[in-house]
């Protein structure tokens, strides 16, 4: 009999597993996995959250990757104040109405000064500056982005990453000479967001236009990327708005054109937030924990040594050499050489935290000059020679990234149901599907539909859909104006 790794004393006491299965109860699984995988934690301040390193690393990678794209798109990063004077909100009436219920105010004011809000979004504070900075067509297009925290004083129950009073986001705010330029880049940015969601997070999305009812407060129109969660709820994952000329007029932004006349410019704003991390967790996680796509994982691979008394030193030495070599090859790697836990406990530990590849190395592997590679999302396990290990790992990480997207994409596609009658719509929603229906797009019908379906809302008018010529609205029987996706949402 070969000697076996011992189960350490403290490992017997610690239970790492989840108490709920994802497939059986996503609503309970989600907060448990977020907490146990150390993605986030509740704060003692109601409605606020702590983003822990395992999740923050995802956000940081998104930032780094998106910043590279912003340079290519000639968007510059900047930082505007957290505080916004109350009077700014009142300048754009629709915008003010949309945000006023959830604004947090600060208590400190100057003698006789006005109330200051904590930014729920930065249109107003930025456009006041833009009105100072923009003088002529030579200053346009102006493209500025900021990464920051925003506060919306939610009263509904906190959902980590999905609904918190404070969250992190980026908000881009651009100014153009013409409507055409603005339209073009509003679309460009939503397509960039699609890439962020799909290529980095492996979360497939539908790109579409919001109905009038769901349009951003103050915008002419809003484009959105919508992801679809395994519980049948949609998640708005990023939006890009054509703000028209309304804000420019309210904030007095104008420019001297090439024709020597004064003109009012067109504006866009676009943003995505840390809720993307929530989408990632729900999309890829399983009963063992979260699964983080390689491109955004803090650790792309974990080395777990299989330790026995006689061979411990040799195995550990090899693991350390491997760790260094792989790190030098640009792989984000961690070696779990802790003495106080068994290898089985470590498997569970890193599976819970979502590391996409595990590299096992024991005395037999050492003899054969190989390691065992284990894929987190499938459990697939196979030996790999130590020669060219970095190359193999890079290829497998790419493969895992693709597979995660493909799995999620298939689920999304499998869950889309085309409906043309009210009964079909109700049935599809009952079955937690994403329903695509011909719709009249009238505001009052949208409200009726929401009430009549127990909370389903229009998610978007897909950009690539044909017009529903001659068809009737699924809810009102009026002439249908567009194919529209409906689902309950986060």
Residue ranges binding a second copy (CB under 8 A) = 41, 43-46, 48-53, 56-57, 59-60, 64, 67, 76-85, 88, 104-108, 110, 113, 115-116, 118, 125, 128-129, 132-133, 138, 144, 148-149, 151, 153, 165-166, 168, 298, 338, 340
Residue 48: CB minimum distance to a second copy, A: 4
Sheet containing strand 381-385, edge to edge, reads: 333-335, 301-305, 357-361, 370-375, 381-385
Q: Which is nearer to a second copy, 92 or 128 (CB)?
A: 128
| DSSP string over 171-232 | EEEEEESSHHHHHHHHHHHHHHHHHIIIIIT----EEEE--GGGS-TT-SEEEEEEEE-TTS
Q: Which is nearer to a second copy, 168 or 316 (CB)?
A: 168
Q: Which helix (H) or strand (E) holds 305?
A: strand 301-305
Q: Which is nearer to a second copy, 14 or 23 (CB)?
A: 14
Residue 182: CB minimum distance to a second copy, A: 20
Give the burial string for 271-295 (b: 16+ CB within 10 Å, else e): bbbbbbbbbbbbbbbbebbbbbbbb
Q: Which is nearer to a second copy, 152 or 194 (CB)?
A: 152
Residue 333: CB minimum distance to a second copy, A: 11
Residue 54: CB minimum distance to a second copy, A: 8
Residue 335: CB minimum distance to a second copy, A: 12
Residue 406: CB minimum distance to a second copy, A: 31
Residue 325: CB minimum distance to a second copy, A: 16
Find the angle CA(256)-CA(261)-CA(262) to the nearest 5 degrees: 55
Residue 278: CB minimum distance to a second copy, A: 15
φ and ψ of 187, to 5 deg: -70, -45
Q: Report whether 49 contacts 160 (CB < 8 A).
A: yes
Q: Which helix (H) or strand (E) holds 383?
A: strand 381-385
Enumerate residues 6+ apart whose C-beta is below 8 A from 163.
154, 156, 157, 490
Q: Which helix (H) or strand (E) holds 124?
A: helix 123-133
Residue 122: CB minimum distance to a second copy, A: 11
Q: Which is nearer to a second copy, 177 or 231 (CB)?
A: 177
Find the angle CA(36)-CA(41)-CA(43) to the nearest 5 degrees: 155
> How many whole angstroms separate alpha carbon 234 and alpha carbon 230?
9
Q: Report whether 456 contacts 450 (CB < 8 A).
A: yes
Q: Which is nearer to a second copy, 83 or 213 (CB)?
A: 83
Residue 108: CB minimum distance to a second copy, A: 5
Q: Which is nearer to a second copy, 80 or 308 (CB)?
A: 80
Q: Which is nearer to a second copy, 82 or 386 (CB)?
A: 82
Q: Which is nearer to a second copy, 82 or 416 (CB)?
A: 82
Report DSSP state, residue 111.
Answer: T
Instruction: Pinpoint the alpha helices (H) of 291-421.
Output: 312-328, 343-353, 363-368, 389-414
Q: Report whether 263 contacts 29 (CB < 8 A).
A: no
Q: Which is nearer to a second copy, 257 or 452 (CB)?
A: 257
């Amino acid at each position: 009999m070969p000697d076996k790794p011992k189960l350490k004393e403290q490992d017997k006491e610690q239970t790492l597993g989840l108490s709920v299965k994802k497939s059986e109860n996503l609503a309970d699984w989600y907060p448990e996995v977020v907490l146990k995988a150390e993605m986030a934690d509740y704060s003692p301040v109601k409605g606020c959250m702590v983003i822990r390193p395992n999740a923050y690393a995802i956000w940081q990678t998104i930032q780094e990757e998106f910043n590279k794209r912003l340079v290519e798109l000639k968007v510059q990063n900047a930082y505007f104040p957290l505080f916004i004077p109350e009077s700014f909100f009142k300048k754009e009436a629709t915008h003010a109405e949309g945000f006023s219920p959830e604004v947090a105010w600060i208590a400190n004011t100057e003698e006789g000064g006005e109330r200051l809000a904590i930014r729920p979004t930065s249109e107003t504070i930025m456009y006041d500056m833009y009105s100072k900075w923009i003088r002529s067509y030579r200053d346009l297009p102006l493209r500025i982005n900021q990464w920051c925290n925003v506060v919306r004083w939610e009263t509904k129950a906190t959902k980590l990453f999905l609904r918190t009073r404070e969250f992190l986001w980026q908000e881009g705010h651009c100014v153009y000479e013409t409507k055409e330029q603005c339209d073009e880049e509003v679309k460009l940015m939503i397509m960039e967001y699609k890439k962020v969601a799909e290529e980095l997070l492996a979360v497939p999305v539908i790109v579409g236009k919001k109905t009038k009812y769901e349009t951003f407060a103050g915008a002419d129109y809003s484009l959105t990327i919508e992801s679809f969660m395994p519980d049948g709820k949609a998640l708005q994952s990023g939006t890009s708005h054509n703000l028209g000329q309304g804000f420019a007029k309210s904030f007095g932004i104008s420019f001297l054109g090439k024709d020597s006349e004064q003109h009012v410019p067109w504006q866009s704003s676009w943003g995505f937030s840390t809720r993307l991390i929530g989408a990632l967790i729900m999309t890829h996680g399983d009963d063992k924990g979260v699964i983080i796509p390689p491109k955004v994982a803090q650790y792309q691979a974990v080395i777990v040594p299989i330790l026995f008394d006689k061979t411990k030193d040799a195995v550990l030495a090899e693991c350390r050499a491997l760790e260094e070599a792989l790190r030098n090859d640009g792989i984000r790697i961690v070696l779990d050489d802790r003495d106080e836990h068994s290898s089985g406990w470590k498997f569970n530990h890193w599976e819970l935290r979502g590391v996409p590849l595990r590299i096992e190395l024991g005395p037999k592997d050492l003899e054969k000059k190989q390691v065992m590679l284990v894929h987190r999302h499938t459990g697939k396990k196979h030996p790999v020679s130590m020669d060219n290990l970095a190359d193999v790992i890079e290829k497998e990480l790419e493969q895992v990234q693709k597979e995660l997207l493909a799995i999620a994409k298939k689920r999304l596609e499998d869950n889309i149901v085309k409906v043309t009658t009210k009964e079909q719509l109700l049935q599809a929603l009952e079955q937690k599907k994403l329903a695509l229906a011909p719709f009249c797009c009238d505001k009052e019908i949208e409200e009726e539909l929401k009430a009549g379906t127990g909370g389903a809302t229009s998610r978007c008018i897909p950009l690539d859909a044909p017009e529903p010529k001659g068809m009737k609205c699924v809810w009102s029987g009026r002439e249908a104006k567009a194919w529209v996706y409906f689902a309950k949402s986060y």
